[in-house]
Amino acid sequence: MTNPKQIVGEKATEFIENGMTVGLGTGSTAYFTTRKVGQLIQNGLNIRCVPTSKSTEQLAYKWNIPLVPISEVEKIDITIDGADEVDPDKNLIKGGGGAHLREKIVASITGYYIIIVDNSKLVHHLGKFKLPVEITPFAREVTRRQVNQLGCTSDWRKKEDGSDFISDNDNFILDCSFELIKDPRALNLTLNQIPGVVENGLFVGMADKIISSDSEGNLKIY
């Protein structure tokens, strides 16, 4: 049995060309992309990269991938990242790893945004996966109550030891169960208008290409 995450993670690197600025995603699928990028650089590929999280930054250092601060970048040529859900319109839920704020910032200045997933992440409607909402520490329960009024139940994300999960940006993550998100674009805008919400995990109209695979290695690219 093949590893679909490795298949799509490595397949996506075929879109990378010499001289590009490349966004490196976060998570168990993007891991394989980052590892492959390191191998390609060893073999002579000349690119510079922008990581979407501290964990990806550490992997890049491990594999001698040249990094550039996002503050020095006006545009990223291509970004390769995973997702927790993908609908038929290429809308996404991201943030299972808590990096969706940085991932969305990187995506917003990316010319070509590739999403890599195994087939289990392809859904007819977003919402079964809990939607991550990043919230500032100040009056976080006030913000949570306003989020819940949109029709969800929610829980603060915790680490394995029971303590609060803190994002790379020193914020809390509220995992919200909507079950069915009928209008991702409207919900994205409504959430981000709530004071205290920094960003949410809905990526609407941002993905250019989806690469998915099943456990037999059958690729679907659209």
Helices 30-42 and 4-11, axial angle in degrees (round to 10) = 50
Exactly one of 10, 103, 134, 199 is catalytic; which is it?
A: 103
- 17 catalytic per annotation: no
Residues contacting 197, CB < 8 A, separation 6+: 133, 134, 135, 143, 147, 191
Which amino acid does the sequence have at 113? Answer: Y
Contact 82, 115 (CB under 8 A): yes
Active site residues: 103
